[in-house]
Chain A
């Protein structure tokens, strides 16, 4: 069966520090991958999605970037965090040939101080 992992689960970082959040999926090949951010009062905001290794599409211009160095690995990064980057970050995946819903990871709670 497929599983999705995210780490770390919780992170507290000072303003101006770098960020790296990792998401990995097991039990599937060539999934579509997504990064969402959940901020208070704003629902789930799609940040990036990827259809394959090295292929990244950005939805919202911002202080963040994403990379997909391996088929089932999706990384969210920042060179210098802002206070506004605080939030709950969710990674999700879907089967390429399956018109179905996204499966979500457990999320990472990021607090920028």
Chain B
């Protein structure tokens, strides 16, 4: 069964510092997609970054980057120059192909608090 594990339930970081959120997953597939979603207090799910497994280059979106280690099945998110607005719940997700469609498996989330 495909699973996504986020081992850090809560983290905090000082404003302007860098923080890394961990995610590991389990799959037997060779081609898939991985995502990080942000859920601020409004609870709206916002896509932060996406990684395609066949691409060796780590994805980057402004202050957000990932460290994708396919062999280790690890997909961590690095937030640089943390801002107060980064305070949110962060979910790692794995996209699994199933006949006719895809489904998305999410981890349990990491609650990040950015401190002033």
Is B43 in contact with A106, judged by CB distance below 8 angstroms?
A: yes
Q: Of the candidates B33, B103, B106, which one forms a contact with A43 in the assembled complex, judged by CB atoms under 8 Å apart?
A: B106
Which chain A residues border B95 with CB–CB below 8 Å?
101
Contact-size category for B: 20 to 34
Is A46 in contact with B105, judged by CB distance below 8 angstroms?
A: yes
Say yes or no for B28: interface residue by CB 8 A criterion: no
- How many pairs of A and B residues are in contact by the CB < 8 Å rule? 50
Interface on chain A toward B: helix, strand, loop, or mixed SS?
strand
Contact-size category for A: 20 to 34
Q: Of the candidates A45, A51, A101, A104, which one forms a contact with B101 in the assembled complex, judged by CB atoms under 8 Å apart?
A: A51
Q: Which residues 82-113 of A have a CB within 8 angstroms of B?
A: 88, 90, 92, 94, 96, 99, 101-102, 104, 106-107
Is A94 in contact with B102, judged by CB distance below 8 angstroms?
A: yes
Which chain B residues border A106 with CB–CB below 8 Å?
43-44
Compute how far the CA of A86 lies from the CA of B23 in the bound complex, rounded to whole angstroms.
27
Is B45 in contact with A104, judged by CB distance below 8 angstroms?
A: yes
B21 to chain A, nearest CB (A): 13
Q: Of the candidates B43, B103, B108, which one forms a contact with A42 in the assembled complex, judged by CB atoms under 8 Å apart?
A: B108
Which chain B residues border A42 with CB–CB below 8 Å?
108
Partner-B contacts on A (CB < 8 A) = 32, 34, 36, 41-46, 49, 51, 59, 88, 90, 92, 94, 96, 99, 101-102, 104, 106-107
